[in-house]
Amino acid sequence: MHRPRFIQKHPFPFLLYLEWGLLAIALLGEFLPGSVPRLGERFPLLNFLSLLGFGLMGLQLPSYSSSQKASPQTAYKIAYTALEIGLIVLAAAAGKNPRIFPFLYVVLMIRSCLIFRMPGRLVVMGIAFSLFLLMVTRFMRRVEIQAPLRWQVPSRPLLFNFVLLLGLVLVLILLLVNALINERQSREKLTIANDQLRQYALRVENLAMAQERARIAREIHDSLGHALTGLNLQMEGALKLWDSNPDQAHSFLRDAKQLGSTALQEVRRSVSAMRSDPLQGMPLLEAIATLAEDFYRTTGIQPHCQIQALSLPYEVSSAICRIVQEALTNIRKYANASEVNISLEAIAPHLHLTIQDNGDGFQIAENQTGFGLQGMRERTIALGGQMQIDSQLGQGCCITVQIPLLQFSG
């Protein structure tokens, strides 16, 4: 069963139910016998209409704004509150049982907390308390003058305690409703922050996927495309020389077969690079050993690995595995190296990863925009670390990655 629309629009429906309960008590008080002279029996209909109007106003509250700037509805809010106070005064003046009208001030305080910021709430609370104190004082004077003998007049200390109790209730309402509003605003801000975080994560994921596709496309173009082009040329040469020079044609076919094997290896490596989990459920030590074994099968060079057994979070292990994989790919494709060393150890306060080869090297200033190096650097920065590349032509290359241990210790 759906709630009525005016209840759904209320910021706190249970406070609206509380208002209805307090107004029902105030209205019921008009039918209860009073312990004081009936000073307002002449206007019972006016009293009921005042209570009814005051209650209906709670169905359409002015909107609350947490902004520090003046809201366009400020004048409307002030007029709304002034009308509420006027109805309370009218109901109290026309009623026959004044002791129940503090409930109306409680309702007034609840509503003011929902439409004003803290300064406005304090002003309304001061007005409500002062007005109630004034009405109680006037009531006491009228009772003492009109019925000093026939009615037992409430003692002044008792009325003072009653007024003090109302003041404490108003302060309590101010604190409670303010806490409810702050909690609601905190949840809304958290919801917005979560939405923004999800959108940001989605953009980052899409960007990473686009970069990975571009990197794989470049690798396919550079390696697989080259191998297939060579394969096509060798096959054409074999077809042309098949009749005139069978031996040369046979040599072309052997080269074509070798190029075909190379192309197949490139396809397998590209498919492996596209896997979502570089670790494939293995510990980091075993994953790096697998990468080294794959490198040996394709190049004939066995990397020397010194890997310390460490317990690292998945995101750290995955990033390190990707960095090692990309470094070995670059060495295989461009370095012409005969020796490769991989080292991973924890030396407080950093985790140190070193990948070194004795290949051709390169000019660092001319090779900073490649997809491989860029991806390695981005993964390092994402973990709060730093990556350094030392290389010169003819003197190999050394890649050093340092990742702070504090961010994933304990």
Any domain includes 237: no
In the structure, what pLDDT confidence band is assigned to residue 35 with cuts at 50, 70 and 90? very low
3-state secondary structure of 283: coil
Nearest-angstrom CA–CA distance, 115 and 123:
13
In the structure, what pLDDT confidence band is assigned to residue 156 with cuts at 50, 70 and 90? low
Which among 202, 192, 264 has a CA at the least distance from the CA of 228? 264
- Span 22-26, average pLDDT: 74
Element (H, E) at 402: strand 397-404
Nearest-angstrom CA–CA distance, 177 and 113:
6
Nearest-angstrom CA–CA distance, 265 and 187:
53
**DSSP bridge pairs for 389:** 399
Nearest-angstrom CA–CA distance, 401 and 405:
12
DSSP type of residue 365: G
Where a domain ends, among 154, 184, 210? 154
**DSSP bridge pairs for 388:** 400
Among 38-42, 91-95, 327-331, 372-376, which range has the highest average pLDDT?
A: 327-331
- Span 172-177, average pLDDT: 85
Structural domain count of the chain: 2
Where a domain ends, among 119, 135, 154? 154
Cα 200 to Cα 194, 227, 383, 407: the distances in Å are: 10, 40, 17, 22
Taking only the tens place, the pLDDT of each residue in 67-81 is: 444 455 788 888 888
In the structure, what pLDDT confidence band is assigned to residue 410 with cuts at 50, 70 and 90? very low
Domain interval for residue 23: 5-154
Any domain includes 268: no
Q: Are residues 15 and 110 in contact, defined by beta-carbon separation less than 8 angstroms?
A: yes
Task: Write down the pLDDT at residue 222.
Answer: 61
pLDDT at 181 over 50: yes
Strand order, beta sheet including 350-357: 304-307, 340-347, 350-357, 397-404, 386-391
**Encoding tokens for residue 315?**
């995101």
Same domain membership, residue 150 and residue 10? yes
Same domain membership, residue 150 and residue 289? no
Mean pLDDT of the chain: 77
**DSSP bridge pairs for 238:** none
Identify whether 349 is preceded by a cis peptide bond (ω within 30 of 0).
yes
- Span 132-139, average pLDDT: 76
Domain of 400, CATH number, reads: 3.30.565.10
Any domain includes 222: no
Q: What percent of the chain has pLDDT over 90?
A: 13
**Encoding tokens for residue 95?**
């009623």
3-state secondary structure of 39: coil
Where a domain ends, among 123, 154, 185? 154
- Span 360-364, average pLDDT: 86
**Encoding tokens for residue 237?**
């040469």
CA angle 33, 34, 37 (to 5 degrees): 125
Specify the higher pLDDT residue, 53 or 397. 397
Any domain includes 201: no
Same domain membership, residue 12 and residue 149? yes
Any domain includes 324: yes
Q: Is 233 left (phi over 0), alpha (psi -120 to 50) or beta?
A: alpha
Helices (H), 310-370: 314-330
Specify the higher pLDDT residue, 143 or 105. 105
Task: Write down the pLDDT at residue 59.
Answer: 75
CA angle 165, 105, 121 (to 5 degrees): 95
Any domain includes 398: yes
Any domain includes 193: no
Q: Are residues 340 and 396 in contact, defined by beta-carbon separation less than 8 angstroms?
A: no
Q: Is the dihedral of CA 272, 278, 280, 284 positive or negative?
A: positive
pLDDT at 42 over 50: no
Any domain includes 22: yes
In the structure, what pLDDT confidence band is assigned to residue 369 with cuts at 50, 70 and 90? low
